[in-house]
């Protein structure tokens, strides 16, 4: 039944714009359905109905959930009742509830932090925990009372500063209304006190469990923000740098590329932070499956991840094991080169698939996807009756904070490290991939995606925090991500190393050392598919390398609409 | 087939860019398409951080100064789109960009999400509390004030 519904929705999306008499109160995808068909809808009210008033709607269908944050209810309604329901004076709009996905928790322990830190046993630790280091999180905010973001004694919060930059009316809070910032913060610095001890089987904690957090709220209750909010927050982070020892900044956010980085205010702000001595870590994006411009997902890194002056992080799938040999890139992780500037991105990849971290129970994400709440049975012994307090999410949003936590540990060990040194060491010590390709399957659609383990997909490889901490390298020069030049006559792509780049300065920093075999410049393009790299004249080729970038003013439409993703299997 | 598609698209684009009036080098492409009568949120960058005199000049064209962004030598303004070219001719102005929307890079926040569909229709949840669907999940510390000020440093 549900499958039919989804098909119906997709078809009607595609015929959007053809002339049907439309009820302005019913979303177009809900017209022309078979009579008698059950439809999952979100009914938006003018005023939130009382419980008693809600019973009145029972005649139209089954009431499933209150979504009072959007003044709405989730209901299952017979298709022929939709028009009548829309006539109700208190009904403002009926939209499809198209979040068709698994309704039960999928997955288990992610082994993300353990993989990144190379900690072989569940309760192991490192000599570094981020003590004294400040990480600025530009996200959807934080509740100041998250107990797992307190010091180990539980006597004081490690959230040392909170500020809101969201200017929308009635959104002016520092709290996390969306639920994203809480999860990101946990990956960076949760101490995991709610899953540690004898009654637990898997410890869910962050990379730097004693780090200080500076929460700058730039995403609203729907996870959206504005360039100006983010720029303003970056400005504040730079101002607060010495007061809170802010050495790292995490940006698990982005938007389509609109033009060259040098013209983009958000890119410029990121570069300012980097040059002010803050390690800026940015999510690459989740458009790696996007083939709408014929690029097989290449050229989809978002702003500000397209800045050469940051560490851009793609999402790795640990396949829920500690072993690194089975790790693979997620199918959705955005790929370089960047549009317009042709910067080689991402710089590195880190665990980002089905990651377990902190939950804000009072958030839009929790309300929308309770199936992503992690049952205690996933990480506790069968006798454990404690409340579930963790949440599962996927995306490069989860990968970036792994690297932010790693950077905090590095500057704790060696406070003199510059952002360029942190980036160069992380990239050089990243674990290189040995397989040329990997495959991933979407759990909802069953569709399989093949990824090439090339430089534009996996960067310098997979985050290895312990190797980075063990490195005694003191590189000099700029670690700005290099541009890539494509010679259409020979079909060869090559790195364009800036004059002051530390890459290639000596054998220690040769490009093949940093990027491994994923960089085979000069012979032929090993990486990528022929559709993108070999044959000039294809749409994908022009989109990426043509002088008149087809995507120019707008990055291709997201395919995510049709995907209903829930991580890779 | 692919070849055909390419040839069809490229000349069309070239044609479009030559026929439509020349693009202003200081104005981002996506701003030039804005309806001239509409107000647009624009980040205007100058050679130096803008002063009151710069704000005044924009106000005199019906604009509003919304936020200083000195980090990038600019400010956020709301400006009638039809006045952008005139303002861009100011030699102090370096670049005008739209105040784009950014999003969290969470895989599941695809537009297929229920809540996103709701927000797409301008439902911001303004003035409405956050629903607690799973009423059993909240801990006692959930009952703090919404500003969450527990003595933590905050502006």
Domain boundaries, chain A: 2-96, 112-562
Gap between the Cα atoms of A450 and A54, Å rounded: 48
Gap between the Cα atoms of A386 and A101, Å rounded: 27
Do residues B88 and B53 share a domain?
Answer: yes
* Residue of A230, A349, A198 whose CA lies nearest to A284: A349
pLDDT digits (tens, 9 = 90+) for B57-110: 999 999 999 999 999 999 999 999 999 999 999 999 999 999 999 999 886 533
Q: Residues A463, A428: contact at Cβ < 8 Å?
A: no
pLDDT digits (tens, 9 = 90+) for A326-382: 999 999 999 998 988 989 999 999 999 999 999 999 898 888 888 889 999 999 999
In a domain, B40, yes or no: yes
In a domain, B54, yes or no: yes
Phi, psi of A513, deg, nearest 5: -70, -45
Task: Judge whether A193 is closer than 8 Å to chain B, CB to CB.
Answer: no
Burial class of A508 by CB neighbour count within 10 A (0 to 12, 13 to 18, 19+): exposed
Gap between the Cα atoms of B113 and B128, Å rounded: 20
Do residues B46 and B77 share a domain?
Answer: yes
Q: CB atoms < 10 A from the CB of A438, how many?
A: 21
Gap between the Cα atoms of A140 and A175, Å rounded: 8
Do residues B73 and B14 share a domain?
Answer: yes
Q: How many CA atoms lie within 13 A of B94 on its CB side?
A: 15
Do residues B75 and B131 share a domain?
Answer: no
Active-site residues of A, by number, are: 139, 180, 397
Over 60: is that where the pLDDT of A528 sits? no
Q: What CATH number has the domain spanning A112-562? A: 3.40.50.200
pLDDT digits (tens, 9 = 90+) for A335-349: 998 988 989 999 999
Do residues B29 and B63 share a domain?
Answer: yes
pLDDT digits (tens, 9 = 90+) for A254-297: 998 888 999 999 999 999 999 999 999 999 999 888 877 777 88
In a domain, B5, yes or no: no
CA dihedral B76, B81, B83, B87 (to 10 degrees): 40
In a domain, B147, yes or no: no
Do residues B25 and B65 share a domain?
Answer: yes
Token pair belonging to B27: 């104005």
How high does pLDDT run on average in chain A?
82
Name the E strands within A86-147. Answer: 91-96, 134-139
Does A362 contact B142 at a Cβ distance shorter than 8 Å?
yes
Do residues B115 and B91 share a domain?
Answer: no
Name the E strands within A80-184. Answer: 91-96, 134-139, 159-164
A176: three-class secondary structure by DSSP: coil
Does B128 contact A68 at a Cβ distance shorter than 8 Å?
yes
* Residue of A237, A236, A234 whose CA lies nearest to A253: A234
Token pair belonging to A344: 């080689």
Does A394 contact B107 at a Cβ distance shorter than 8 Å?
yes
Q: Domain tally for chain B?
A: 2
pLDDT digits (tens, 9 = 90+) for A441-458: 877 777 888 888 888 899
Phi, psi of A212, deg, nearest 5: -95, 145
Q: Residues A402, A463: contact at Cβ < 8 Å?
A: yes
Do residues B74 and B130 share a domain?
Answer: no
ipTM entry? 0.75
pLDDT digits (tens, 9 = 90+) for A181-225: 999 999 999 999 999 999 999 999 999 999 999 999 999 998 899
pTM, two decimals, is: 0.76
In a domain, B4, yes or no: no
Query: How many Å separate Cα A429 from the centre of its chain?
Result: 23
Q: Which CATH architecture has domain A2-96?
A: 2-Layer Sandwich (3.30)
In a domain, B45, yes or no: yes
* Residue of B131, B111, B126 whose CA lies nearest to A67: B131
Do residues B85 and B21 share a domain?
Answer: yes
What is the pLDDT at residue A446? 79
Burial class of A407 by CB neighbour count within 10 A (0 to 12, 13 to 18, 19+): buried
Do residues B111 and B49 share a domain?
Answer: no
Do residues B94 and B121 share a domain?
Answer: no
Q: What number is the average pLDDT over the span A512-517?
A: 68
CA distance A509 to chain B (A): 31
Confidence of residue B38 (pLDDT cuts 50, 70, 90): very high
- How far is residue A148 from each of residues A144, A236, A294, A414, A425, measured CA to CA in Å? 11, 26, 45, 26, 30
**Domain of residue B47, residue span:** 10-98
What is the pLDDT at residue B88? 96
Does B107 contact A269 at a Cβ distance shorter than 8 Å?
no
Do residues B53 and B80 share a domain?
Answer: yes
Which residues in chain A are contacts of B6 at CB distance < 8 A? 537-539, 542
Does B97 contact A332 at a Cβ distance shorter than 8 Å?
no
In a domain, B132, yes or no: yes
Q: Who's near B134: CB < 8 A, 6+ residues apart?
A: A361, A366, A370, A373
Q: CB atoms < 10 A from the CB of A510, how many?
A: 13
Nearest to B6 among A161, A369, A539 (CB): A539
Range 24-83 of B in CB contact (< 8 A) with A? 28-30, 33, 41, 43, 45, 66-67, 69-72, 74, 76
Let me know how long chain A is: 569
**Cα angle value A411/A416/A421 (rounded, 5°):** 75
Gap between the Cα atoms of A354 and A116, Å rounded: 15
Specify the residue for token string 């539980």. Answer: A154
């Amino acid at each position: 039944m549900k499958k039919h519904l989804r098909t119906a929705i997709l078809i009607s999306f595609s015929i959007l714009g053809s002339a049907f008499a439309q009820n302005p109160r019913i979303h177009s995808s809900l017209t022309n359905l078979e009579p008698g068909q059950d439809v999952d809808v979100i009914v938006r009210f003018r005023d939130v109905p009382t419980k008693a008033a809600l019973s009145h709607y029972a005649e139209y269908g089954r009431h499933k959930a209150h979504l009072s944050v959007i003044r709405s209810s989730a209901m299952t309604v017979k298709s022929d009742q939709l028009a009548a329901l829309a006539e109700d004076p208190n009904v403002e709009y009926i939209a499809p509830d198209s979040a068709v996905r698994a309704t039960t928790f999928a997955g288990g322990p992610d082994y993300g932090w353990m993989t990144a830190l190379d900690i072989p046993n569940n309760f192991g630790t490192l000599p570094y925990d981020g003590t004294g280091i400040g990480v600025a999180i530009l996200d959807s905010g934080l509740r100041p009372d998250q107990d797992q973001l307190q010091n180990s004694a539980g006597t004081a919060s490690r959230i040392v500063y909170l500020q809101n930059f969201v200017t929308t009316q009635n959104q002016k809070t520092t709290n996390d209304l969306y639920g994203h910032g809480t999860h990101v913060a946990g990956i960076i610095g949760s101490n995991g006190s709610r899953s540690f001890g004898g009654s637990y089987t898997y410890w869910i904690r962050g990379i730097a469990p004693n780090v200080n957090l500076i929460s700058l709220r730039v995403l609203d209750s729907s996870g959206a923000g504005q360039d100006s909010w983010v720029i303003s927050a970056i400005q504040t982070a730079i101002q607060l740098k010495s007061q809170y020892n802010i050495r790292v900044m995490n940006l698990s956010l982005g938007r389509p590329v609109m033009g060259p980085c040098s013209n983009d205010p958000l890119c410029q702000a990121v570069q300012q932070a980097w040059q002010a001595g803050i390690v800026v870590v940015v999510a690459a994006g989740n458009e790696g499956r996007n083939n709408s411009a014929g690029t097989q997902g290449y050229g989809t890194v978002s702003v500000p991840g397209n800045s050469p002056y940051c560490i851009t992080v793609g999402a790795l799938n640990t396949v829920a094991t500690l072993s690194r040999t089975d790790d693979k890139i997620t199918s959705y992780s955005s790929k370089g080169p960047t549009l317009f500037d042709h910067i080689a991105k991402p710089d590195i990849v880190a665990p980002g698939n089905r990651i377990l971290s902190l939950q804000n129970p009072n958030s839009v994400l929790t309300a929308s996807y309770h199936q992503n709440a992690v049952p205690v049975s996933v990480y506790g012994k069968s006798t454990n009756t404690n409340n579930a307090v963790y949440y599962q999410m996927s995306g490069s949003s989860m990968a970036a904070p792994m690297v932010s936590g790693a950077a905090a540990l590095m500057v704790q060990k060696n406070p003199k490290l510059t952002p360029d040194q942190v980036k160069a060491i992380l990239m050089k010590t990243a674990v290189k991939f040995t397989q040329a390709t990997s495959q991933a399957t979407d759990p909802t659609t069953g569709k399989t995606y093949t990824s090439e383990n090339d430089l534009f997909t996996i960067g310098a490889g997979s985050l290895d925090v312990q190797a980075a901490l063990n490195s005694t390298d003191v590189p000099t020069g700029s670690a700005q991500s290099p541009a890539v030049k494509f010679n259409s006559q020979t079909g060869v792509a090559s790195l364009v190393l800036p004059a002051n780049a530390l890459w290639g300065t000596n054998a220690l920093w040769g490009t093949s050392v940093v990027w491994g075999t994923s960089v085979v410049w000069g012979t032929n393009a090993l990486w990528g598919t022929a559709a993108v790299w070999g044959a000039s004249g294809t749409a994908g080729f022009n989109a990426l390398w043509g002088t008149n970038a087809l995507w120019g003013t707008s990055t291709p439409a997201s395919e995510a609409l049709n995907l209903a993703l829930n991580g890779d299997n | 087939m692919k070849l055909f598609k390419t040839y069809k698209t490229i000349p069309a684009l070239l044609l479009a860019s030559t026929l439509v009036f020349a693009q202003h080098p200081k104005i981002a492409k996506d701003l030039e398409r804005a309806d001239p009568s509409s107000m647009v949120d624009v980040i205007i960058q100058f050679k130096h951080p803008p002063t009151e005199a710069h704000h005044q000049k924009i106000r005199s064209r019906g604009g509003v100064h919304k936020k200083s962004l000195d980090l990038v030598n600019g400010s956020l303004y709301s400006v009638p789109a039809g006045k952008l070219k005139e303002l861009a001719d100011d030699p102090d102005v370096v670049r005008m960009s739209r105040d784009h929307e950014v999003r969290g890079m969470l895989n599941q926040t695809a537009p297929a999400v229920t809540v996103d569909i709701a927000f797409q229709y301008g439902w911001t949840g303004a003035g409405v509390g956050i629903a607690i669907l799973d009423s059993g999940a909240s801990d006692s510390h959930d009952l703090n004030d919404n500003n969450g000020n527990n003595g933590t440093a905050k502006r």
